[in-house]
């Protein structure tokens, strides 16, 4: 029997791979999206600062600069189409010395060269008026009105779901181990679940993209993981922080910032430390101390007792310092994306268009589908609804009247919906990222057993098999004795 031959296989269902799969799903193509993790967005996409950057940071003329500004401009329509939370709240780079004012002017000039609209240097008084908790040492700030905040995992899930709704096949827990070759051409991938044939393979594998490139027989590009650590603070801190506050940047990062998140928390971080291990997501005492010290320089009234969680993410620092997006001449049938570090989330929708363009130029037939579904809807978010909307939802399905997560007001109905979504949530973290269950002050202490029960019932599985995030991360090890009646 002849094997099925996909038009395109995309390796990696992070923000970038999911956006690429979604962009390809507009056309009459057979597309397979693969990821080794148990959910989409389990790589760097789940652990970053979630800023839609304006685009004044990157060097003019670089791919980072071009795709940042182009991606930023796409966000309003993109998030409306995908039903993803996004707030174009603007961002500030805050100066605290006289020299910083020089840096702010340089950043503004660079931003204008990159095509960023609306940049403005504002006075210290104006900055205090806009952000009353800002350090008294403020000397001025660069205001970027096009900066924003977004739900990064929500965006990735939405893009992947939209792709699936338009016919893309998604296979999770499928680790790509190598390539099928025909002479110099790549004709598919080998995985721990068998081989898949295709005309094109797109490597969008984040931190692991260089390993796959080498596997395909190409050298000359390496990725160094650069860790960034964070604090998440209780929602009540949002009274002190209205927007996105950057310090003046350092040579290796945009600096430790203080930002409101789209979900109403406040986040502090990240620092920037090169590490060896691409899976090292541990937070460290020195790293977190550095983050707190940096955040206090911007907002001195922050109180460490408001911290509800810490986490770390790894930047995929490429050896050229820029995004690398190309169809290498040496290997036919391959598109490679490497070094997609910040502003990769912002740039992802523009990167996806660029990849479609590359494939089209290389001969992939791009015939638009007549039956393309243009939008995707998220599952209801009970906590965001009006009293009337809540009543209507409960009347339709009484499970929306059963609150499972008290901190974030998440209902049984939402967890059920997550289990039956176009990409069904099969782990606790997958439910968490789709519903916000367990993300509040108690961090899941109350809801976890209830969620496990609901998931086991809805997915039709033994609760003992349920995991936090796939692999060996099981919650339960053996059946407990039946509770006394």
Minimum distance, C-beta of residue 197 to ligand FAD, in the bound complex (Å): 16
Alpha carbon 419 to chain centroid, angstroms: 21
Q: Binding of ligand FAD at residue 29 (CB under 6 A)?
A: no
53 part of the active site:
yes
Is residue 164 within 8 A of residue 170, CB to CB? The reply is yes
Instruction: Name the one range near ligand FAD by CB under 6 A: 92-100, 178-186, 335-343, 426-434.
Output: 335-343
* Closer residue to ligand FAD in complex, CB, 299/393: 299
User: Which 225-244 residues touch ligand FAD, going by CB under 6 A?
Assistant: 228
Structure token digits, residue 266: 């406040």
DSSP state, residue 332? B
- Per-residue contact string for residues 345-374; x = within reach of ligand FAD by CB under 6 A: xx----------------------------
With contacts defined by CB under 6 A, name the span among 39-47, 124-132, 288-296, 410-418 that binds ligand FAD.
39-47
The answer to whether 314 contacts ligand FAD (rule: CB under 6 A) is yes
Q: Which of 153, 208, 221, 382 binds ligand FAD (CB under 6 A)?
A: 208
Catalytic residue among 53, 162, 197, 214, which? 53
Q: Judged by CB under 6 A, which stretch of 22-30, 114-122, 207-215, 302-310 contacts ligand FAD?
A: 207-215
With beta carbons less than 8 A apart as the criterion, state whether 101 and 140 touch.
yes
Toward ligand FAD, which CB reaches closer, 137 or 173? Answer: 173
Stretch that binds ligand FAD, among 108-116, 310-318, 438-446, 456-464 (CB under 6 A): 310-318
Only one of the segments 32-40, 140-148, 398-406, 433-441 lies at the binding site for ligand FAD (rule: CB under 6 A); that segment is 32-40
DSSP 133-167: TS-TT--EEEEETT-EEE-HHHHHHHHHHHHHHTT
Helix (H/G/I), strand (E/B), else coil: 227? strand
Angle between helices 152-165 and 63-82 (to 10 degrees): 70
Answer for which of 90, 147, 154, 206 binds ligand FAD (CB under 6 A) is 206
Token duo for residue 435: 């519903």
Residue closest to ligand FAD (Cβ): 344
Q: Applying CB under 6 A, which of residues 9, 31, 33, 50 lies at the interface with ligand FAD?
A: 50
CB of residue 93 to ligand FAD, shortest distance in Å: 14
Q: Given the complex with ligand FAD, which of 128 and 242 has the nearer CB atom?
A: 242
148 binds ligand FAD (CB under 6 A): no
| Binding residue for ligand FAD, selected from 8, 9, 10, 14, defined by CB under 6 A | 14
If one asks whether residue 154 binds ligand FAD (CB under 6 A), the answer comes out as no
> 201 near 333, Cβ under 8 Å?
yes
What is the rounded distance in angstroms from the CA atom of residue 181 to the CA atom of residue 101?
A: 55
Q: Does 469 contact ligand FAD by CB under 6 A?
A: no
Burial label for 98, CB within 10 Å (0-12, 13-18, 19+), is exposed
Q: Is 315 in the site for ligand FAD (CB under 6 A)?
A: yes
Rounded Cα distance between 428 and 450, Å, is 11
Closest distance of CB 450 from ligand FAD, Å = 28
Look-up: residue for tokens 């604090």?
231
- State the CB neighbour count (10 A cutoff) for residue 97: 11
Measured in whole angstroms, how far is the alpha carbon of residue 16 from the centre of its chain? 9
Q: Which of 21, 51, 237, 335 binds ligand FAD (CB under 6 A)?
A: 51
Nearest to 315 by CA among 14, 22, 2, 7: 14
Applying CB under 6 A, which of residues 88, 175, 181, 399 lies at the interface with ligand FAD? 175
How far is it, in rounded angstroms, from Cα 91 to Cα 170?
36
> 105 exposed, middle or buried (CB, 10 Å; 0-12, 13-18, 19+)?
middle
Using rule CB under 6 A, residue 291 touches ligand FAD:
no
Answer yes or no whether residue 440 interacts with ligand FAD by CB under 6 A: no
Preceding omega of 343 cis (within 30 degrees of 0)? yes
Structure tokens at 307: 């911290």
- The pair of three-digit structure tokens given for residue 388, joined into one six-digit string: 């009337």
Instruction: Look up residue 427 and give its two tokens.
Output: 């782990």
Q: Is the Cβ–Cβ distance between 322 and 241 less than 8 Å?
A: no
Q: What angle do CA 269, 271, 275 make, to 5 degrees?
A: 135
The site for ligand FAD, by CB under 6 A, has a size of 40
The residue within the footprint of ligand FAD, chosen from 140, 344, 349, 440 (CB under 6 A), is 344
**Phi, psi dihedral angles at 109 (to 5 degrees):** -65, -45
CB of 286 to ligand FAD, least distance (A): 16
Cis upstream peptide for 270 (omega within 30°): yes
Q: Which two tokens stand for residue 293?
A: 């010290």
Cα-flanking dihedrals φ and ψ of residue 71, to 5°?
-65, -45
Residue among 399 and 468 whose Cβ is closer to ligand FAD:
468
**Residue of 342, 411, 427, 435 that binds ligand FAD (CB under 6 A):** 342
Q: Which residues, 259 to 278, sit near ligand FAD by CB under 6 A?
A: 270
Q: Which is nearer to ligand FAD, 51 or 79 (CB)?
A: 51
Least distance CB 314 / ligand FAD (angstroms): 5
| Residues near ligand FAD, by CB under 6 A | 11-17, 34-37, 42-45, 48-51, 53, 175-176, 204-208, 212, 228, 270, 313-315, 340-346
Residues annotated as part of the active site: 53
């Amino acid at each position: 029997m002849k094997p099925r031959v996909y038009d395109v296989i995309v390796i990696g269902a992070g923000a970038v791979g999911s956006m690429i799969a979604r962009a390809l799903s507009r056309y009459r193509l057979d597309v397979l999206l693969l990821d080794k993790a148990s959910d989409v967005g389990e790589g760097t996409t789940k652990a970053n600062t979630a800023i839609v950057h304006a685009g004044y940071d990157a060097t003019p003329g670089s791919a980072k600069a071009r795709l940042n500004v182009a991606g930023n401009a796409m966000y309003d329509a993109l998030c409306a189409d995908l039903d993803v939370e996004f707030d174009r709240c603007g961002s500030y780079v805050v100066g605290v010395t006289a020299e910083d004012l020089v840096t702010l002017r340089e950043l503004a000039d660079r931003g204008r060269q990159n095509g960023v609209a609306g940049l403005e240097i504002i006075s210290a008084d104006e900055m205090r008026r806009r952000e009353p908790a800002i350090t008294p040492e403020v000397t001025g700030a660069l205001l970027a009105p096009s900066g924003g905040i977004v739900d990064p995992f929500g965006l990735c899930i939405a893009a992947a779901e939209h792709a699936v709704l338009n016919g893309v096949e998604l296979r999770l827990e499928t680790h790509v181990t190598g390539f099928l070759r025909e002479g110099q051409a790549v004709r598919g991938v080998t995985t721990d679940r068998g081989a898949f044939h295709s005309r094109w393979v797109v490597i969008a594998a984040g931190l692991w993209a260089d390993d796959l490139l080498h596997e395909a027989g190409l050298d000359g590009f390496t990725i160094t993981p650069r860790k960034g650590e964070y604090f998440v603070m209780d929602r009540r801190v949002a009274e002190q922080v209205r927007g996105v506050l950057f310090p003046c940047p350092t040579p290796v990062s945009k600096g430790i910032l203080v930002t409101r998140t789209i979900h109403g928390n406040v986040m502090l971080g990240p620092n920037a430390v090169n590490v060896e291990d691409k899976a090292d997501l541990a937070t460290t005492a020195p790293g977190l101390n550095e983050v707190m010290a940096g955040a206090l320089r911007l907002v001195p009234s922050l109180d460490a007792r408001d911290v509800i969680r810490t986490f770390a993410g790894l930047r995929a620092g490429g050896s050229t310092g820029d995004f690398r997006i190309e169809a290498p001449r040496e290997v036919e049938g391959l598109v490679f994306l490497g070094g997609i570090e910040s502003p990769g989330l912002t740039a992802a929708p523009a990167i996806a268009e660029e990849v479609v363009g590359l494939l089209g130029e290389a001969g992939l037939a791009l015939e638009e589908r007549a039956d393309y579904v243009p939008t995707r809807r998220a599952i209801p978010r009970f906590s965001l609804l009006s009293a009337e909307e809540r009543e209507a939802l409960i009347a339709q399905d009484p499970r929306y009247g059963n609150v499972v997560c008290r901190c974030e007001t998440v209902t049984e109905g939402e967890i059920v919906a997550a289990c039956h979504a176009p990409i069904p949530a099969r782990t606790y973290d997958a439910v968490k990222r789709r519903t916000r269950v367990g993300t509040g002050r108690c961090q899941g202490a109350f809801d976890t057993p209830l969620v496990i029960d609901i998931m086991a019932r809805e997915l039709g599985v033994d609760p003992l098999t349920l995991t936090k995030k796939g692999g060996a991360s099981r919650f339960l090890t053996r059946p407990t004795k039946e509770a006394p009646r």
